[in-house]
Amino acid sequence: MPNPRFPTPGGPVLRAKGWRQEALLRLLENVLCVGEDPDNLVVYAALGRAARNWAAHDRIVKTLKTMDEDQTLLIQSGKPIGLIRTHVDAPLVIMANCNIVGQWAKAEVFYELQDKGLICWGGLTAGAWQYIGSQGVIQGTYEIFMRIAEKRFGGTLAGRFVLTAGLGGMGGSQPLAGRMAGAAILCVDVDPVRAEKRKAIGYLDAIAPDLDAALALISAAKSEGRALSVGLVGNAAEVYPEILRRGITPDVVTDQTAAHDLVYGYVPKGFSLDEVKALRTSDPARLMAASRASIVEHVTAMLGFQRAGAEVFDNGNLIRTHARDGGVADAFDIPIFTEAYLRPLFCRAIGPFRWMALSGDADDIRKIDDLVVERFPDNHIVTNWIRLARANVPFEGLPARIAWLGHGQRTEVALAVNAMVRDGGLAGPVAFSRDHLDAGAMAHPNIMTERMKDGSDAIADWPLIDAMALCASKADLVVVHSGGGGYAGFMTSAGVTLVADGTAAADSRLSSALTNDTSIGVMRYADAGYAEAVDEARDKGIDWFDLSAG
């Protein structure tokens, strides 16, 4: 819903010296427009910030408005530190957010540095100004549900019960994605405000007054094969064990609470939201212990569902890690979604690619939808998604779309869109980006790179190489992020943004950066020994060195 303090950007008037600078300014404005707590610069995930503080934000804005195209703005953990003179093909913005030296990369150290105002976590797309609201997560969640449907349930989740938790900036995508997949989905969250927000924008069909009512709604929808999304205000650490105790086994179970952060994210059972807020400053150690204890019960119930025959998976929020630390020895019997369902796509550098209409005109996205469907008529994942998204996914902030495209496809779309801008077919330029959870862009041994075939799970060279290559490939914005809060020490990722402003220079930037980005993704998985990636490199002419061949 619109926030008067953070309006949606758009229109033909430039405040900066060129569209490249204006684009990045509008993307910064956009992540606050769609953010969870924009007054505190928080975009999502409790701590993911667009800038370190308001002074930093204001200086970033001023700089983007006044900088020349042959300058580069340097940003360290959300704080602008200066401009350097580069050249017109260099990135306009280079960021490094929340990168802490290995032995110090721990949650406690992060909180100390954050309290001193020395660091902030950029999340993945939050601090890089690439977040597009829930849509940025909806397709990935939908694709996971559909891979499960293919694996276990004959290709559909109609007549199936999905149980999950979390309705925040990331988890809030789940009710709509589940409904789009045909499921009867129950989403638990401790915060009534979040539940009401998801209902107000149409993601939740209903909010049940209690567990009995929620299960009755789910049971009726399941028996009728009817898609339905139901919210329940409650604590998952209490609700999951109670459903298990009643002998009810959902077909699919996951969780997308902010379990990654035991202080600022997860809410332990037996505590009110106000009590948790107070403990964050008065006794964070007690809060961490209570959160971990609740996660133990939460994950123990998930394992119980798994033993009863449910398809159970970790959605990437470190809940298994905290459960194992709390004493649940078999927590990692629950698979991670990337390895279980999506790795064959990542091997071919197929991942969440996104574009944003900088004009603010929704017709620009509809025209690009038509282009993509026309260019890739046999790509069922893309054509099916665009059809569903058009009918079900409302725009938040700048009109945007996300679609899982791979090597060569991203470049083809971007160049075609740049031609549309040049020819006046669109109301304004378009920005391209992707999720940081992409083939060559993330090292996270408990999420993206868990159980890699060659054991290279924890090697962070790949996202660093990706970021440096993107700088060399003329990208407009390049960022390297590492984890903050509960994610501290667990991950490193690279992000990129490119602007299609209709110029020949944009053609060069788009072609170079997007092609090289996905090439590195294919190389990463080929190097790890995945046959799909080796085939992709061979079929697409990617110059990968296979040293195993001698």
Indicate if 85 and 144 belong to the same structural domain: no
Nearest to 90 by CA among 478, 480, 514: 478
* Domain-ending residue, one of 318, 335, 352: 335
Strand partners, 499: 431
Residue 301 lies in a domain: yes
- Per residue, the 3-state secondary structure of 210-253, as one string, reads CHHHHHHHHHHHHHHCCCEEEEEECCHHHHHHHHHHCCCCCCEE
Task: Give the domain extent around 482.
Answer: 1-33+51-121+342-550
0.75 cut: is pTM over it?
A: yes
- ∠ at Cα 199 (195, 201), nearest 5°? 120
Residue 320 lies in a domain: yes
Q: Contact, 152 vs 311, CB < 8 A? A: yes
CATH number at residue 364: 3.40.1770.10
Indicate if 351 and 463 belong to the same structural domain: yes
Residue 539 lies in a domain: yes
pLDDT on residue 168: 85
Residue 107 lies in a domain: yes
Indicate if 500 and 446 belong to the same structural domain: yes
Containing 128, the helix (H) or strand (E) segment is none
pLDDT on residue 401: 96
Indicate if 281 and 368 belong to the same structural domain: no
Task: Please spell the DSSP secondary structure of 31-52, one letter per residue.
Answer: HHHT-SBGGGTEEETTTEESSS
Nearest to 204 by CA among 224, 222, 188: 188
* Domain-ending residue, one of 335, 361, 388: 335
Which residues in the chain land under pLDDT 50? none
Sign of CA dihedral 382, 341, 437, 160: positive
Sign of CA dihedral 243, 249, 251, 252: positive
Nearest to 515 by CA among 378, 371, 406: 406
Indicate if 331 and 346 belong to the same structural domain: no
Indicate if 418 and 487 belong to the same structural domain: yes
432: Cα separation from own chain's centroid: 15
Indicate if 326 and 440 belong to the same structural domain: no
Pairing state between β 477-482 and 42-44? unpaired
CATH number at residue 318: 3.40.50.10730
* Domain-ending residue, one of 280, 310, 335: 335
Pairing state between β 184-189 and 161-165? parallel
Indicate if 183 and 259 belong to the same structural domain: yes
Give Cβ neighbours of residue 125 (< 8 Å, ≥ 6 apart).
Answer: 31, 43, 131, 132, 136, 433, 435, 436, 495
Indicate if 378 and 436 belong to the same structural domain: yes
Domain count, the chain: 2
Indicate if 146 and 200 belong to the same structural domain: yes
* Cα-based torsion angle of the residue sequence 467, 469, 470, 474 in order, rounded to the nearest 10 degrees: 150
Sign of CA dihedral 462, 468, 472, 474: positive
Indicate if 346 and 326 belong to the same structural domain: no
Residue 399 lies in a domain: yes
Indicate if 441 and 528 belong to the same structural domain: yes
The residue behind tokens 């997949």 is 181
pLDDT on residue 408: 97
Residue 379 lies in a domain: yes
Residue 526 lies in a domain: yes
Residue 41 lies in a domain: no
